[in-house]
Amino acid sequence: MFPPVVLALNEEVKKHPLLLAELSKLEQTNGQLDMGIMAGAVAAYCGIGLDGYYLEEDIIILFHLLLNELQKRSAIVIH
Question: pLDDT tier at 74 (50, 70, 90 boundaries)?
Answer: confident
Phi then psi for residue 77, to 5 deg, are: -105, 125
Q: Considering the entire predicted model, what is its pTM?
A: 0.85
pLDDT tens column, 27-49: 998 888 888 889 999 999 999 99
Structure-model confidence comparison of residues 72 and 79, the more confident one: 72
What DSSP designation does 34 have? -
Domain assignments of the chain as residue spans, ordered by start = 4-72
Residue 6: partners with Cβ closer than 8 Å, 6 or more residues away? 35, 63
**In contact, 67 and 12? CB cutoff 8 Å:** yes
Residue 49: partners with Cβ closer than 8 Å, 6 or more residues away? 43
> In this model, does residue 76 exceed pLDDT 70?
no
